Amino acid sequence: MHLACIFDLDGTLADSLQDLADAANHALRAQDYPTHETPRYRFFVGNGVPKLLERVLPEHARTPETLAHTRTLFDAYYRAHGLDHTRPYTGILPLLDILGKRGVKLAVLSNKPDAFAKEIVTALFGNRFHPVFGNRPDVPRKPDPAAALEAAEIMAVCPEQCLFLGDSGVDMQTAAAAGMIGVGVLWGFRDRAELLENGAKKLLSRPEDLLELFAYPA
């Protein structure tokens, strides 16, 4: 029986692409580097801010010094504007409320920096999740399973009792590495093929489809 669900944040719970693109483009523009159209960021995000900035910078500019300065510019902008456009996907809030009433334990695991993840989750979803983990200095990023297993321990569930919901191959890899059930969402940043190639056990077209996996007998 499924007792818990760990959610990815960007592209799963919330459409954050515009704010991520704006922050990265701000950092690029400030250094006179070319910017990118927002849709291209669907393929830049997902592996944490360092990898995002490495991907958006021109190859010749990917020096440690430039990456560090770009990170400073990105963080400052995102800290001030990370919620300008970011909103929950349609259907997510009702889904979470129903799951909560059913007693399903809910957590968030993101490769976004921990402080940003906690701020955004609190602003958009209140106290619906525990724990909420972003990337922390002492814990490896997804697809390493360490943070997912830590979340399961806090929720007092076995990994096999936990679904891992996400929109990317990284999320499906995390689920497999943690011994959890990977559930791919089709409303996010990546496509069906990537999710299946990385081990998704189930694909959801709409948030409410998740309820079928928590349909306990009366």
Distance, CA of 128 to CA of 120 (rounded, Å): 12
Task: State how far the Cα of 197 lies from the Cα of 180, in Å rounded to an integer.
Answer: 16
- Residue 8 among the catalytic residues: yes
Residue 61 and residue 86: Cα distance in Å, rounded? 29
Residue 89 has what DSSP assignment? P
State how far the Cα of 121 lies from the Cα of 17, in Å rounded to an integer.
15
Q: Which of 8, 10, 167, 171 is catalytic?
A: 8
Q: How far apart are CA 108 and CA 216, in angstroms?
A: 23
Give the pairing of strands 4-7 and 105-113. Answer: parallel
Report DSSP letters for 111-170, one per residue.
EEEHHHHHHHHHHHHTT--S-EEEE-TTSPPTTSSHHHHHHHHHHT--GGGEEEEESSHH
Contacts of residue 93, defined as CB under 8 A and 6 or more positions apart, other chains included, come to 125
126: left (phi over 0), alpha (psi -120 to 50) or beta: left
Task: Give the strand pairing for 14-15 and 87-88.
Answer: antiparallel
Positions annotated as catalytic residues are: 8
